[in-house]
Structure 1
Amino acid sequence: MYNTLIRGFTESDTPHNSFWLFDEMRRKSVAPPDSFSFAFMLKAAANLRSLRAGIQLHCQALVQGLDTHVFVGTTMISMYGECGHAHFARQVFDEMRDPNAVSWNAIITSSFRCGDLKLAKAMFDAMPFRNSTSYNAMLAGYTKAGLLDLAMEVFSAMPLKDDVSWSTMIVGFAHNGCFDEAFRFFRDLQRIGMRPNEVSLTGVLSACADAGAFEFGKVLHGFIEKCGFSNIISVANALLDTYSKCGNIHMARLVFEMMLHQRNIVSWTTMIAGLAMQGYGEEAIELFHKMKGCGIVPDGITFISILYACSHSGLIEEGWKYFSMMKDMYGIEPAIEHYGCIVDLYGRAGQLQKAYDFVCQMPVAPTSIIWRTLLGACSIHNNVKIGEQVRKRLSEIDPTNSGDHVLLSNIYAVAGKWRDVATIRRSMRDQRMKKNPGWSMIEVDKTMYGFVAGENQGEIAEEANEKLTEIMLRLRVEGGYVPELKMVLHDLEEEEKEDSVSRHSEKLAVAFGMSRSCKGSTIKIVKNLRICRDCHAFMKLVSKLYKLEILVRDRSRFHFFRDGSCSCREYW
Structure 2
Amino acid sequence: MLDHGLEPDNFTFPFVLKACSALSALEVGRDIHDHVIRTRWESDVFVGAGLIDVYAKCGCVDDAREVFDRIPNRDVVLWNSMIAAYSQNGHPSDALTLCRDMVAKGFRPTVATFVTVISTSADVAALPRGREIHGFSWRRGFESQDKVKTALVDMYAKSGWVRVAWVLFEQLMEKRLVSWNAMICGYGMHGYAIEALSLFDKMREEAQVPPDHITFVGVLSACNHGGLMEEGRQFFNLMVKEYSIEPTVQHYTCMIDLLGHSGKLDEAYQLIQDMSMKPDSGVWGALLNGCKIHRNVELGELALQRLIELEPNDAGNYVLLSNIYAQAGRWEEAAKVRKLMTDRGLKKSIACSWIEVKGTVHAFLVGDSSHPRSEEIYAELELLEGLMKEAGYVPDTMPVFHDVEDDEKHNMVRSHSERLAIAFGLISTPPGTQLLVTKNLRVCEDCHTAIKFISKIVEREIIIRDVNRYHHFKDGECSCQDYW
TM range (shorter): 0.7 to 0.9
1:394-443 per-position Cα deviation (integer Å, ceiling 9, x unaligned):
22332222121121122222222222222121111221123233333323
Q: Following TM superposition, by how much is the alpha carbon of 1:371 offset from its aligned partner in structure 2, in angstroms?
A: 0.5
Residue 462 of structure 1 aligns with an amino acid whose one-letter code is P
1:471 aligns with 2:380: yes
CA distance in 2, matches of 1:146, 1:535: 38
The aligned amino acid for 2:321 is: L
Aligned counterpart for 2:372 among listed residues 459, 462, 465? 462
Q: TM-score, normalised by structure 2?
A: 0.86
**Aligned equivalents of 1:310, 1:229: Cα separation in 2:** 35
Q: Counterpart of 1:536?
A: 448
Structure 1 residues 247 and 147: alpha-carbon distance in aligned structure 2, compared to 1, 3 A threshold: same
> Does 2:272 align with 1:363?
no
Q: Return the offset for 1:291.
A: 1.0
Q: What is the aligned counterpart of 2:175 among 255, 260, 263? A: 263
Return the alpha-carbon distance in structure 2 between the equivalents of residues 455 and 189 of structure 1.
43
- In the superposition, the TM-score normalised over structure 1's length comes to 0.74
Equivalent position to 2:255, from 308, 322, 342: 342
Distance verdict in 2 for CA 1:80–1:449, change over 3 Å: closer
1:140-182 Cα offsets, whole Å, 9 max, x none, are 6666666777777777777566545654565455555555555
Partner AA of 2:388 in structure 1: G
* Structure 1 residues 495 and 531, CA gap change in structure 2 (3 angstroms): same
**RMSD across aligned positions (CA):** 3.5
Counterpart CA distance in 2 for 1:166 and 1:467 is 46
Amino acid at match of 1:283: E
How far did 1:534 drift?
Answer: 2.4
The change in CA–CA distance for 1:100 and 1:423 in structure 2 (over 3 A counts) is same
Tell me: CA distance 1:374–1:252, structure 2 relative to 1, closer, same or farther (3 Å): same
Aligned 8 A contact 1:378 1:384 in 2: yes
1:395 aligns with 2:308: yes
Equivalent in the alignment of 1:292: 204
Seen in structure 2, the aligned counterparts of structure 1 residues 436 and 472 have a Cα distance that, compared at 3 Å, is same
Contact 2:418-2:439 at 8 Å conserved across structures: yes
**2:189 corresponding residue in structure 1:** 277
Aligned partner of residue 412 in structure 1, secondary structure: helix
Task: Name which of 467, 471, 484 aligns with 1:559.
Answer: 471
Change (3 A) 1:549 1:156: same
Alpha-carbon shift at residue 136 of structure 1 (Å): 5.6
Query: Any idea what SS the aligned residue of 1:551 has?
Result: strand
Q: In terms of mean alpha carbon deviation, does 163-172 or 225-234 score higher?
A: 163-172
Measure how far apart 1:183 and its partner are. Answer: 4.4
With over 3 angstroms needed to count, the CA separation of the structure-2 counterparts of 1:423 and 1:238, relative to structure 1, is same
Partner of 2:434: 522
Letter in 2 for 1:317: E
Letter in 2 for 1:567: S
Alpha-carbon displacement from aligned partner over 1:218-262 (angstroms, at most 9, x marks no partner):
343333333221333321111001121222232111111110x32
Change (3 A) 1:451 1:231: same
Which residue of the other structure, out of 499, 504, 508, is the alignment partner of 2:416?
504
Larger radius of gyration: 1
Match of 1:428 among 336, 341, 362: 341
CA-CA distance at 1:520 after TM superposition: 0.9
Relative to structure 1, the CA distance from residue 229 to residue 72 in structure 2 (aligned partners, 3 Å threshold; closer, same or farther) is: closer
Q: Is 2:317 aligned against 1:408? A: no
Structure 2 counterpart of 1:228, one-letter code: G
1:545 to 454, 457, 460: 457
Q: Which residue of 2 aligns with 1:438?
A: 351
The alpha carbon displacement at 1:455 in A equals 9.0
Q: Distance in 2 between matches of 1:81 and 1:258?
A: 36
| In structure 1, distance between residues paired with 2:14 and 2:76 | 25
Distance 1:203 1:499, change over 3 A: farther
Closer, same or farther in 2 for the Cα pair 1:295/1:411, shift >3 Å?
same
Q: Residues 11-410 of structure 1 correspond to what in structure 2 (within 5 A)?
A: 65=4, 75=15, 79=19, 82-83=22-23, 85-86=25-26, 100=39, 129-132=42-45, 159=72, 162-164=75-77, 166-167=79-80, 170-174=83-87, 179-259=92-172, 261-293=173-205, 294-410=207-323
Give 1:475 shift.
Answer: 3.2
* Most deviating of 229-238 and 331-340: 229-238
Distance in 2 separating the partners of 1:193 and 1:360:
58
SS of 1:279's equivalent in the other structure is coil
- Amino acid paired to 1:282: I
Contact 2:169/2:183 (<8 A) preserved: yes
Which range is displaced more, 361-370 or 481-490? 481-490
Output the CA distance in 2 between the equivalents of 1:449 and 1:522: 16
Q: Write the letter of the residue equivalent to 1:224.
A: S
Q: Secondary structure at the match of 2:437?
A: strand
**Secondary structure at the residue paired with 1:229?**
coil
Distance in 2, matches of 1:507 and 1:462, equals 16
Residues in 2 aligned to 1:212 and 1:93: alpha-carbon distance in whole angstroms? 36
1:441, 1:448 within 8 Å by CA — same for their partners in 2?
A: no
- What residue ranges of structure 2 are gaps of 5+ in the alignment? none
Contact 2:364/2:421 (CA < 8 Å) preserved in 1? no
Q: Deviations over 1:377-397 (max 9, x none)?
A: 222333323211211222233
Q: Distance in 1 between matches of 2:408 and 2:80?
A: 47
**How far apart, CA to CA, are the structure 2 residues paired with 1:370 and 1:168?**
35
For 2:379, give the aligned amino acid.
E
Task: Indicate the percent of aligned positions where both proteins have the same amino acid.
Answer: 37
Q: Secondary structure at the match of 1:263?
A: coil
Report the Cα offset of residue 101 of structure 1.
5.0
Deviation at 1:214, TM superposition (A): 3.5
- Equivalent-residue separation in structure 1 for 2:89 and 2:372 (angstroms): 28
CA contact (8 A) 2:399 2:444 kept: no
Determine if contact 1:413/1:486 at 8 Å carries over to the other structure.
no
Structure 1 residues 92 and 347, CA gap change in structure 2 (3 angstroms): same
User: CA deviation digits over 1:26-53, x for unaligned, max 9?
Assistant: xxxxxxxxx7xxxxxxxxxxxxxxxxxx
Cα distance change, pair 81–256 in 1 and its aligned pair in 2 (3 A): closer
- The SS at the match of 1:272 is helix
The separation in 2 between residues aligned to 1:154 and 1:511, in whole angstroms, is 47
Q: 1:347 to 1:68 in 2, by over 3 A?
A: same
Partner of 1:571: 483
Unaligned stretches of 5+ residues in structure 1: 1-34, 36-60, 103-128
